[in-house]
Amino acid sequence: MRRYRCPTCGHAQDFEQWDTINVTLNPELKAPLLSHQLTTFKCARCNRATPVEHNLLYHDMGKHFMVWLMGYNVDGTSLAAVATLLAQAARGDKYKLRRVHSFNDLIEKVLVLSDDIDDRVTELFKATLPQRLRAQSGRSSVTLFCLGRSESSNDRLLYRLHLPPTRQTFEVPIATAQELFDDITRDLPPDTLDGEGPWQLIDKNYAARAFNKRGLNALESYRDVDLALNCFNRALTLMADDPILLANKASALGAMGRYGDAIEALDLALRLDAGNERLLLTRADYLGRSGKLEESLLCFEALVQAGFSGAAKGVERCQRLLRRRAEGN
């Protein structure tokens, strides 16, 4: 029991806050959690309903999964200790351990995992649609929420689309989402997309990592630059301000001979990581490859002065090419 004060009228009263919920031991708590009843403070004086944001550990022993909401700086130390102990205890029991950062994410994970659905599949499918939906609708904000299996068919996923100011639902065959997941993760080593620690954060960043890994694999193993560029662009729709993704996109564009576009991507990456040696050297190299040898030479010389030893070879190469060009004239 915690003491809360109404933000509207200032009235203080007790509120039963659940820091851990085990729905195997207390199945009656699942429905009020999913409806937000357990996480809503209702003032006895003014009747104002206010969401109470706090950390929460959800545990389903029957389905073998735990979801740890650790998104708020509200007395989370003890809960973190409990979650660590539970993770250690569950290692040999094939548990799915997930981290989330909001109550909506917690509810989505509970709905998906309770229906025995691979949340990696649903997350990757979600990542492929918003860009297309934004383009079709002309809206800048599009949000997808997976509600688990459809009530009309056990073989279909039910998604809710938030397209402000409207909401609508649609169904997708699970086989379609699985096929997309298999295609993106094809040829990737097992666990290559896993994050650090036992508690995995399967969200849009996970999807971005998946597209990035697929793109790198296409670029390095198959030299399929079109597929690689497509994957990097998809990843960037999810993590637009990631310098590594921008650098990988530049590599694909460079492999296509599109050096001007590659330099634009590198410039964006350098705004986020200004001192990155690899980015600076690659940019100087692409300037030379695009025919701007004098500008490339100046960049390499400046990098040498800045202490980047790898730039010396670039200086020599630019000088050699400039001499050849002068001799040809």
CA distance 296 to 291: 9
Domain-embedded: residue 4: yes
Domain-embedded: residue 267: yes
Domain-embedded: residue 198: no
- In this structure, the answer to whether residues 97 and 210 fall within a common structural domain is no
The residue among 73, 97, 114 that closes a domain is: 114
Residues in contact with 37: Cβ distance below 8 Å, sequence separation at least 6, in sequence order: none
Q: What is the pLDDT of residue 2?
A: 87
Q: What is the pLDDT of residue 65?
A: 92
More confident residue, 201 or 84: 201
* pLDDT, mean of residues 123-144: 71
In the three-class reduction of DSSP (H, G, I as helix; E, B as strand; rest coil), residue 158 is classed as: strand
CA distance 113 to 233: 29
The band of 92, judged by pLDDT with boundaries at 50, 70 and 90, is low
Residue 248's CB is within 10 A of a number of other CB atoms, namely 23
- In this structure, the answer to whether residues 106 and 212 fall within a common structural domain is no
Domain-embedded: residue 172: no
CB distance 36 to 79 below 8 Å: no
Least confident of 72-86, 126-140, 148-162, 255-269: 72-86
pLDDT one-digit tens code per residue, 289-308: 999 999 999 999 999 999 99
pLDDT tops 90 at residue 87: no
* pLDDT, mean of residues 214-236: 91
Domain-embedded: residue 27: yes
Beta strand 156-163 pairing with 143-149? antiparallel
Domain-embedded: residue 75: yes
The band of 328, judged by pLDDT with boundaries at 50, 70 and 90, is confident
- In this structure, the answer to whether residues 323 and 222 fall within a common structural domain is yes
pLDDT tops 90 at residue 113: yes
Number of domains in the chain: 2
The band of 29, judged by pLDDT with boundaries at 50, 70 and 90, is very high
Q: What is the number of residues in the chain?
A: 329
CA distance 296 to 254: 15
* pLDDT, mean of residues 265-287: 95
The residue among 88, 114, 140 that closes a domain is: 114
pLDDT tops 70 at residue 138: no
Q: How much of the chain exceeds pLDDT 70, in percent?
A: 86
pLDDT one-digit tens code per residue, 266-276: 999 999 999 89
CB distance 129 to 144 below 8 Å: yes
CB distance 109 to 67 below 8 Å: yes
DSSP lists the bridge partners of residue 69 as 56, 100
Domain-embedded: residue 314: yes
In the three-class reduction of DSSP (H, G, I as helix; E, B as strand; rest coil), residue 108 is classed as: helix
Q: What is the CATH number of the domain that holds 215?
A: 1.25.40.10
Domain-embedded: residue 287: yes
Q: For residue 98, give its domain range.
A: 1-114
The band of 329, judged by pLDDT with boundaries at 50, 70 and 90, is low
In the three-class reduction of DSSP (H, G, I as helix; E, B as strand; rest coil), residue 29 is classed as: helix
pLDDT one-digit tens code per residue, 100-112: 999 999 999 999 9
pTM for the complete prediction? Answer: 0.81
In the three-class reduction of DSSP (H, G, I as helix; E, B as strand; rest coil), residue 117 is classed as: coil
The band of 74, judged by pLDDT with boundaries at 50, 70 and 90, is very low
The residue among 114, 134, 164 that closes a domain is: 114
Q: What is the pLDDT of residue 323?
A: 92
